Amino acid sequence: MKKCCGSLVASLLLCLHAAADGGADGGKNIGLACVGDFDPTLVERIRGFAQRSLMMPVVMIEAKDVKMDSLDDVGRSASAWLDLDHAMVVVLFMPEEDLGGHGVVRREEHTAVVNARAMLPEPSDPEKYARRLERQVMRSVGLLLGLDFSPNPRSAMWPYKTLEQLDRIGRNFDPPWLLKAQRAARERGIKILSRQWPPAGSVKTRETAAKQED
């Protein structure tokens, strides 16, 4: 994999792209950071997907002084990256060895960590891997906003137990959960970029799904 976040140029380009695509003007944003080796194209895909789906600005931020002994250590480190612009920080973390667990959410510190190594499929499947990370970032944001799990299995907030179940659930919030997320985001000062529904790749209606299955 190419190195992201260790490369100043790659990080700068991602930040500039994020700012141009809805950025940090007029309210707080959701910070996304990566710790470890990632393909910058993959990271930008995840950032853009989360921003379009949540309709909230998601911007890349620099990871500094990271303790990487555990997922909780990374989450604690990320709390120091919060400032007046960031309502929360979600970290894509690629540990050098398996640390166990799919991620952690530290609501009191407004940080969450996605264990990217645990999301790697066997055998390698770049599209499946990207979709797993997109789901986990969406879930992290939802939990940091105080959302409960959704009873809709086509929602990213459905409570999966295995990676196989994770692969079957949706990558977005179902409409009621999106409204809850946006309401909670406004209370935290996060800018809402658009009121249009549905966002790209959103949960399908039963009628649309039935037509596509026929």
List pLDDT tens digits, range 69-98. 999 999 999 999 999 899 999 999 999 998
The third-level CATH classification (topology) of the domain covering 8-213 is Collagenase (Catalytic Domain) (3.40.390)
Report the phi/psi class of residue 97: left, alpha or beta, with left for phi > 0 and alpha for psi in -120 to 50. Answer: beta
Tell me the Ramachandran region of residue 204: left when phi exceeds 0, alpha when psi lies from -120 to 50, beta otherwise: beta
pTM, whole model, 2 decimals? 0.81
Q: Dihedral (C-alpha) 75, 30, 184, 186: value to the nearest 10 degrees?
A: 150
Residue 16 has pLDDT above 80, yes or no: no
Please give the Cα distance from 14 to 4 (Å, whole number). 10
Q: Are 93 and 116 within 8 A, CB to CB?
A: yes
* Domain layout of the chain by residue ranges: 8-213
**What is the reported pLDDT for 68?**
93
Render pLDDT for 48-70 as a digit per residue (tens, 0 to 9). 999 999 999 999 999 999 999 99
Percent of the chain predicted with pLDDT > 90: 76
Model pLDDT, residue 47:
98
- Which H or E run contains 92? strand 86-93
Checking if the pLDDT of 108 tops 50, the result is yes
